[in-house]
Amino acid sequence: MLIELAHFTLILAFAIAICQTFVPLIGAHKGWRGWMAMAEPAAVSQFLLVGFSFAVLTWAFIVSDFSVELVFANSHTDKPMLYKISGVWGNHEGSMLLWLLILALFGACAVWFGSNLPDTLRARVLAVQASISVAFYAFILFTSNPFTRMTFAPLNGRDLNPLLQDPGLAFHPPFLYLGYVGLSMTFSFAVAALIEGRVDAAWGRWVRPWTLAAWMFLTIGIALGSWWAYYELGWGGFWFWDPVENASFMPWLISAALLHSAIVVEKRETLKSWTVLLAILAFGFSLLGTFIVRSGVLTSVHAFANDPERGVFILLILTFFLGGALTLFAARANVLQSKGAFGTVSRESALVLNNILLAVAAFVVFIGTIWPLVAELAFGRVMSVGPPFFDASFSPFMIALAIVLPLGSLLAWKRGRFGRARGPLAALAAVAAAAAALAFAVQTGRSALGPVGLALGIWVVGGAALDLWMRGGRGGPADRLRRIMQLPRADWGKAVAHGGMGITIFGVAGILAWQVEDIRVANIGETFDVGAYQVTLQDVREEAGPNYQSTLADITIARNGRDIAVLSPEKRFYPVARMPTTEAAIRNGILRDIYVVIGDPQAQGGWAVRTYIKPFANWIWGGAILMALGGLLSLSDRRLRIGVGAAKQARSVAAE
C-alpha cells in the first residue's frame, strides 16, 4: 500500500511540476504577481512529495520488501544495512529517483535561499527548473518505474553487484548527482536571464554560490570514485579515462571555468554572454553524462543499465534542453552587453585564458569519449580511444593551466602589473625549477614526469601562499599575519582550492613516475624485497564474511629488519551474485602507500602476490579534499550569504 502511495505522490509531483513550468512563466511575462508566487509553494511541495516517494523506496530496501521488483533485483537480507540503503541508488530506477529528489531539493533551496531575487527572475528560474523536473518525472514514470510490484514475492533477493558494496562507492553517486543536478540551477538561472534579457553583477553573484556548490559536490564525487577505483580494482589505478568517468569530468571542467567567469561577471560586469553559454554547456554536459551512463551507449564497467528506449528518451531530453537553450542564447545573446573594460595584461585576461584552457580541455575529453561512436557511425572504423590518447592530449592543458594559475591570481583587475609580487614570483619559479632539477638528478633514468609534477606543484602551492601573503599588505610579519587571518573567507577559499589543485597535480605525477611494482609467486613464509621494504607472506586462510567467503593472506612489511605493518589482502567470493572481488590491503602513509594484493594459488605451490609502493598516492585525494574545502570556504563567505545580499540590495535601492 505504501509503495502504491509513493508511486502516486510521484505522479502528483509530476502534475505540480507541469503547472510550475507554465504558470509562473506566464505570470512573469504578464506581470501577474499571484501567478508568479505559485512557483514557491509548488517547488516546496514537489520536494516534499518526491522526498516521501524516496523515503518509501528506502524503507522498502531496509525492510527487504521483495514484493517490489527493484528490491528483489538489487538487495538481499544478508546484506549489511549500509549497502541496503546504498542499494536504493545502486541501480537505474532508484538512481533516477535520487536524481529527481536532488532536482526537487535544489528547486526548494532556490525558494528558501532566493528571497533576495527579483520576483520575475525567481519565478522564471523556478519555472525553468520545473521544466527539467517534468522531463525527468516523465522519464521515470514512463520508462523506469521503481515501484513495480512482483506477482509473487520471492523469499530473497538477488543481491547488489558486489563491486558496489563498498563505503567509497556508497556515497559516490549522491555526491555526483548533487553536482550534476546542482548545475541545473545555473542552467535555470542562465535561461531565466536570457528570457529576462538581463545579466548584471547581481546575476553573477546569485549564480556563483550554486555553481560553487555543484562544483564542490562534483569534486567530492569524482574523488570518491577515484579513491574507490584505487583500493578496490586491485592494481591501484586511480583514473582510467573510462567513458563514465569522463562523463563526470566534463561538467567538472566546464563548471570550474564557469566558476571563474562568473567572478568576472560579478566583479567587472564583462564576459556576460560567455558566462551564460558556459552555464548552459555545463548542464548540457551533465545531461550528456547521464545519457552516457544510463543508455550504456559507450558501455563500460560502470554501465549497469542497458536499454535503448531509455537512452533515446534521455537523448530527447538532452536535445530539447540544450537545443532550446542554445537557440534562445543565439537569439538573445546580443542583449547582454559588457560594461567593464580591461587591459591586455589583467586578471580578466588571465581568467579568459583559464576559461579557454578549461573549455578546450573539456572538449578534448568530449571528443575522445565520443570518437569511437563517431568513427564507427561515420567512417565505419571500429576503434578504441583509451588512456594513452588522453594522457597525451589532455595533460598539456593541465600543465599550461598550472603555469598560468599563480600569475593570473596575482594580477590586479583591469590593468595588471606584478609590481611587488615580481620578486617573490621569480624566487618561487627558481625554487620550483631547482627542486625539479634535484629530483631529476636523484631519480636517475626515470621519466621527466615526476620532476615536472614536483615543479608545478611547488609553483601552484607556493603561488597560492604568495597570493595570501601579498593580500596581507605591507608591514611586519606579525601585522601581515593578523591581516591575512582576517581576510574574507572567499580569499582563503581561493588560496586553499588553488593549493589543492597543485597538490593533486604533484600527487598524480608522483604516483605515475615513481611507482614500484613487484609481481611474483611467493611460498608461505617466504620473504622478498620490494623497494626499501621486506615483504613476508606469513599465512593464507579462509574466512566467512556476512554475505561472502574470503581468502585472506597475512603479509608482514618490514623496513631495515623492523616490522612496520601487517597487511591482510583478501579475495572475496559473493555466492548470491556469483562474483569474485579483490580487496587490496593498503598501508597508508604521507610519502607512500604500500599496496598488496593476494592472487590465485599456483599449481606448483605458493601464491601469486602483487606488491606496489605508491608514492604520494594520498596527495591526489588530499588535494581534491582541499579543492572542495576551498569551495566550502568561499561558499561560507558572508558576501554570498543570503541576508547580506538582500540587505545590500535594499540599501542600493534606497540610494537610487
Partner 1 sequence: MKKLLMILLICAGPLWAVQPDEVLDDPELEARARAISTELRCPVCQNESIDESNAPVARDLRIVLRERLVAGDSDDEAIDYMVARFGEFVLMKPRAQGSNLLLWYAAPAMLLAALVIGWITVRRRPSAAPDPLSAQEKAELDKILRQ
Q: What share of the chain is helix, strand, coil (3-state, %, to 5)?
A: 65, 10, 25
Q: Supply the DSSP symbol for 68.
A: B
| Per CB under 8 A, 418 contacts partner 1 | no
Element (H, E) at 518: strand 516-522
For residues 106 and 342, which CB has a smaller minimum distance to partner 1 in the complex? 342
Residue 403 CB, shortest distance to partner 1, in Å, is 15
DSSP 553-595: EEEEEEETTEEEEEE--EEEEETTTTEEEEE-EEE--SSEEEE
Q: Mark residues 444-483: x for contact with partner 1 by CB under 8 A, - for none.
A: ----------------------------------------
| Per CB under 8 A, 643 contacts partner 1 | no
Among 45, 67, 145, 393, binds partner 1 (CB under 8 A): 393
SS (H, E, C) 93-123: HHHHHHHHHHHHHHHHHHHHHCCCCCHHHHH
Contact window for partner 1 (CB under 8 A) among 64-72, 144-152, 172-180, 236-244: 236-244
DSSP 474-512: SS-HHHHHHHHHTS-HHHHHHHHHHHHHHHHHHHHHHHH
| Per CB under 8 A, 525 contacts partner 1 | no
With cell 503547472, the residue in question is 19
Q: How many Cα atoms occupy the beta-carbon half-sphere of 633 within 13 Å? A: 18
Contact window for partner 1 (CB under 8 A) among 60-68, 390-398, 459-467, 479-487: 390-398
* Nearest by Cα to 166 from 106, 54, 79, 236: 79
| Per CB under 8 A, 193 contacts partner 1 | no
| Per CB under 8 A, 549 contacts partner 1 | no
Residue 443 CB, shortest distance to partner 1, in Å, is 16
Residue 415 CB, shortest distance to partner 1, in Å, is 5
For residues 195 and 577, which CB has a smaller minimum distance to partner 1 in the complex? 577
| Per CB under 8 A, 354 contacts partner 1 | no
* Nearest by Cα to 153 from 65, 70, 87: 65
For residues 384 and 560, which CB has a smaller minimum distance to partner 1 in the complex? 384
**CA 81 to CA 292: how far, in whole Å?**
30
Residue 279 CB, shortest distance to partner 1, in Å, is 18
For residue 510, count CB atoms less than 10 angstroms from its CB and return exposed for 0-12, middle for 13-18, buried for 19 or more.
buried
Number of residues that bind partner 1 (CB under 8 A): 66
| Per CB under 8 A, 516 contacts partner 1 | no
Contact window for partner 1 (CB under 8 A) among 129-137, 167-175, 375-383, 465-473: 375-383
Positions in 205-224 near partner 1 (CB under 8 A): none
For residues 317 and 385, which CB has a smaller minimum distance to partner 1 in the complex? 385
Residue 392 CB, shortest distance to partner 1, in Å, is 7
Q: Mark residues 122-161: x for contact with partner 1 by CB under 8 A, - for none.
A: ---------------------------------------x
For residues 414 and 587, which CB has a smaller minimum distance to partner 1 in the complex? 414
Contact window for partner 1 (CB under 8 A) among 132-140, 337-345, 401-409, 535-543: 337-345
| Per CB under 8 A, 81 contacts partner 1 | no
Positions in 264-323 near partner 1 (CB under 8 A): 299-301, 303-304, 306
The three-class DSSP label of residue 535 is strand
Beta strand ranges found along 26-107 (DSSP E): none
For residues 388 and 561, which CB has a smaller minimum distance to partner 1 in the complex? 388
Cell of 550: 574470503
For residues 59 and 304, which CB has a smaller minimum distance to partner 1 in the complex? 304
Q: Are 70 and 113 in contact (CB under 8 A)?
A: no
Among 72, 206, 241, 285, binds partner 1 (CB under 8 A): 241
Q: Are 510 and 616 in contact (CB under 8 A)?
A: yes
Residue 340 CB, shortest distance to partner 1, in Å, is 9
For residues 283 and 397, which CB has a smaller minimum distance to partner 1 in the complex? 397
For residues 460 and 522, which CB has a smaller minimum distance to partner 1 in the complex? 522
Residue 363 CB, shortest distance to partner 1, in Å, is 6
For residues 486 and 604, which CB has a smaller minimum distance to partner 1 in the complex? 604
| Per CB under 8 A, 371 contacts partner 1 | yes
| Per CB under 8 A, 95 contacts partner 1 | no
Q: How many Cα atoms occupy the beta-carbon half-sphere of 484 within 13 Å? A: 19
* Nearest by Cα to 567 from 595, 590, 606, 593: 595
The residue count of the chain comes to 656
Q: Are 586 and 563 in contact (CB under 8 A)?
A: no
Cell of 630: 576551498
User: Long-range CB contacts (< 8 A, 24+ apart) of 350-354?
Assistant: 350/404, 350/407, 350/408, 350/409, 350/411, 350/416, 351/260, 351/261, 351/263, 351/264, 351/271, 351/408, 352/271, 353/404, 353/408, 354/257, 354/260, 354/401, 354/404, 354/405, 354/408
**CA 581 to CA 548: how far, in whole Å?**
10
| Per CB under 8 A, 655 contacts partner 1 | no
**CA 389 to CA 366: how far, in whole Å?**
12
Among 579, 622, 625, 632, binds partner 1 (CB under 8 A): 579
Contact window for partner 1 (CB under 8 A) among 78-86, 124-132, 386-394, 425-433: 386-394
| Per CB under 8 A, 334 contacts partner 1 | no
**CA 52 to CA 97: how far, in whole Å?**
11
Q: Mark residues 553-572: x for contact with partner 1 by CB under 8 A, - for none.
A: ------------------x-
Contact window for partner 1 (CB under 8 A) among 38-46, 234-242, 283-291, 326-334: 234-242
For residue 81, count CB atoms less than 10 angstroms from its CB and return exposed for 0-12, middle for 13-18, buried for 19 or more.
exposed
| Per CB under 8 A, 523 contacts partner 1 | no
- Contacts with partner 1 by CB under 8 A lie at 161, 163, 233-235, 237, 240-243, 299-301, 303-304, 306, 338, 341-344, 346, 348-349, 352-353, 356-357, 359-360, 363-364, 367-368, 371, 375, 378-379, 381-389, 392-393, 397, 414-415, 519-521, 571, 577-582, 599-600, 602, 608
